[in-house]
Copies of this chain bind each other. A is one copy, B any other.
Amino acid sequence: MNTRTLVKNLAALPDGPVTVSGWVETVRDQKKVQFVILRDESGAVQLVNPATRELPEPIEGGEADAAASARLATTESISALAHGTFLTVSGELKHDERVKLGGLEVKIGSLEVVAEANPETPIAADSSLDKRMDWRFLDLRHPKQHLIFRIQTTFEHALRQYWVDNDFIEIHTPKLMASASESRAELFEVDYFEGKAYLAQSPQFFKQMAQPAGFGKVFEIGPAFRADPSFTSRHATEFTSIDAEMSWVDSHEDVMRMHEELLVAAFTAVKEKHGAEILDLFGIELEVPTTPFPRIPLAEAKQIVADRGYVIPRDDADIDPEGERQISAYVKETYGHDFVFLTDWDISLRPFYHMRHPEDSALTNSYDLIYNGVEISTGAQREHRIDVLVEQAKEKGLDPEELEFYLDFFRYGVPPHGGFGMGLARVLMLMLEEHSIRETTYLFRGPTRLLP
């Protein structure tokens, strides 16, 4: 393994010889001295080289000439460095308070060009989002973009740590299915040998399968696919879905309690590990939410929004994106909270497998979680009584025969259960006040984007 020192670890070293590897962020090629800003995955450092622009007049004895030739060659190769070129540099570390970048620099001894960059960099700081997506691997070199994925790593690991600590089992449900898991409308069809398969729109049916299987509590973080032709900042044809499902819930309240504890654990981990960098690069003082998150029944939320003067332009019982922003603003003003559970959704807005209220069969034991004005998750208690489930499927116009494999899960004993699905890129987008999930997705997929 390359014996380089990560840039972030230089500060703790004494002055002396070091080797660093990374890519060229900028070159300042002055007459007498050259500066290179070298970046690696941990930070950036200034490299310095006193320029040797020409060989001295020949003198007796060749040795000095060879050294001078080497210095000239180094100088010339620094002058030729293209932005993005990967280098390994050995030199002398020197702590020096006057150096703005971290108070240290490395005086270049030897320099090895590992892979030259094409000097025509195809994107710039002011390139359009779409253009940046075309060259995502260059876009991701920027410290902000890089931080997003280190935050993602910490966020997901904290979720899993919570689940593992609470005896959840990790599952990987199949993404190839014989039929739709959610809606026929947004389904990708796959040529499957002599027949057809479909891409899972969510792990819904299969995470529920873990309940009659006696797994108790399960989680999965994996891809989900929606053939959704929309081009909003919040939709993708492929996204990372965070899912949990657990047995023996009394209602959606139990699911919400797990959900909020989970988010507190994850936000705490992100703030501890990256809080200072988030403030530095995004200008955001990340807040760890307090529990319990506010809970507002949807009908009440709509009344609050109406009282604030916003008329939701819909004929059904649903709320719209501006309504979500309004109720979020109300919650922030009233409770100082960034999250709110909107509960008790009308059955017309929910899939057949959501359990209905014991007292009011027009409502479901379900919720949406709104974070900073945008829906990030849907959760519910599931209907586990096979006769009721079949009736609800029929009411929604579904053919129970097509759902047979799923309905079988409920015919050989099943505990009451509930869970949620949450979009990873949405949470990160809202946490970092980004404008699109394209920024918080490693490689975005949309109706017209399959590359790179």
Residues of A within 8 A of B (CB): 1-2, 4, 21-24, 39-42, 82, 84-86, 114-118, 121-122, 135-138, 140-141, 146, 149-150, 152-154, 156-157, 160-161, 164, 167-178, 188-193, 197, 199, 206, 209-210, 212-217, 222-223, 225, 227, 229, 237-238, 240, 247-250, 254, 257, 384-386, 405-406, 408-416, 424, 441-443, 445, 447-448, 450-452
Residues of B contacting A122 with CB < 8 Å?
A: 412
Cβ B411 vs Cβ A214 within 8 A: no
A385: B residues at CB distance < 8 A = 115
Chain B nearest CB: distance from A156 CB in Å?
6
Q: A406 contacts which chain B residues (CB < 8 A)? A: 452
Q: How far is the CB of A201 from chain B (nearest CB, A)?
A: 13
CB distance from A225 to the nearest CB of B (A): 7
Q: Can you offer 17 A-B residue contacts whose CB atoms are under 8 A? A: A4-B248, A21-B248, A41-B247, A114-B415, A115-B413, A115-B414, A118-B412, A121-B412, A137-B408, A137-B412, A149-B171, A153-B169, A172-B223, A172-B424, A172-B442, A174-B445, A406-B452
In the assembled complex, the Cα of A4 lies from the Cα of B178 at a distance in Å of 37
Say yes or no: B84 contacts A238, CB within 8 Å.
no
Write the nearest CB–CB distance from A410 to chain B, whole angstroms: 7
Contact A157 B137 (CB under 8 A): no
**Chain B nearest CB, measured from A442 CB (Å):** 5
Chain B proximity of A221: nearest CB distance (Å): 8
- Closest chain B CB from A427 CB (angstroms): 13
Q: Is the CB of A416 within 8 A of B171?
A: no
With A41-B217, A137-B409, A157-B164 known, 15 other A-B pairs at CB within 8 A are A1-B248, A21-B415, A22-B214, A23-B415, A39-B214, A41-B214, A41-B216, A115-B414, A137-B210, A141-B213, A153-B164, A172-B240, A175-B223, A190-B190, A193-B229
B214 A146 Cβ-Cβ under 8 A = yes
Chain B residues near A172 (CB-CB < 8 A): 223, 240, 424, 441-442
**Least Cβ–Cβ distance between A44 and chain B, in angstroms:** 11
Assess whether B137 is in contact with A213, with CB atoms less than 8 Å apart.
Answer: yes
Residues of B within 8 A of A414 (CB): 86, 115
Complex CA gap A160/B157 in Å reads 8
